[in-house]
Amino acid sequence: MTVEHGTGTGVHAADSLTADGLTVADVSVAYRRDEFVVRGASFEVPRGDVVALLGPSGCGKSTLLRAIAGLEPLASGTVSWGGEDLARVPPHRREFGLVFQDGQLFSHRSVAENIAYGLRVQRMARAERETRVAELLELVGLPGYGARAVTELSGGQRQRVALARALAPSPRLLLLDEPLSALDRELRDRLALDLAELLRGTGTTAILVTHDESEAGTIANRVLRMRDGRIDS
């Protein structure tokens, strides 16, 4: 596996047996007893990689992503990071960032307050927080938008803010669930290019869930196909 953007340095002999990144091993998820929606999914996301989970609606992509985030219990299998099993690590302690299709911004807060959310949780000092928010606004192409109300933004701008909010605390893994699917085609193609560039430029490790083949190809450096709860090998 090649890591193009130099986020990883040399692997030391001592930890060469430990995967540096995410390992999903034989994960199954069921909402009802014995009705498996994800069936024995196994894959790795080495640090710096952007992997797409591509498949039709209803095949179990979001369920698998939520299981990786710790939001759905596993019926079997393990999710680990750097060799550490995350079974007992709650979602907010996994250092994973999440972006959903509809952004799920706090609509009564400003753009800057939305982006600063995770930084407040981390208890970052105010001055540092303001610098970081400005940095993120620049990164997602919305410089100077901090004071705006979220309700004044277009759909594309909202998704940029959702992305900035997820990236602000420097997550070790970014989980993107159809982040562009609610947008119209033209905007989607443009944002896909921006997102690809942003992820590569920042060396972000990410999983993109999508049903859109071209989006997967534009954004990810590896595409895993999913069908009926299984990942094709």
Which residue is it, tokens 């807060």? 109
Of 28 and 114, the one with the shorter C-beta distance to ligand ADP is: 28
Smallest gap from residue 102 Cβ to ligand ADP (A) = 14
Residue 20 or 72 with smaller CB distance to ligand ADP: 72
Kindly state the smallest distance separating residue 61's Cβ from Mg ion, in Å: 5
Containing 206, the helix (H) or strand (E) segment is: strand 206-210
Strands 222-227 and 21-32: unpaired
- Phi and psi at residue 19, in whole multiples of 5°? -65, 130
Using CB under 6 A, list all residues that contact ligand ADP: 31, 37, 55, 57-63
Is residue 62 near Mg ion by the rule CB under 5 A?
Answer: yes
Total residues interacting with Mg ion, rule: CB under 5 A:
1
**Closer CB to Mg ion, 100 or 145, in the complex:** 100
Name the minimum Å distance from CB 59 to ligand ADP. 4
Q: What is the DSSP letter of 148?
A: S
Q: How far is the CB of 211 from ligand ADP (least distance, A)?
A: 7
| Contact (CB, 8 A) for 53 and 209 | yes
Do residues 114 and 105 lie in contact, with contact meaning Cβ atoms separated by under 8 Å? Answer: yes
Kindly report the number of other CB atoms within 10 A of residue 28's CB atom. Answer: 18
- Which spans of this chain sit near Mg ion (rule: CB under 5 A)? 62
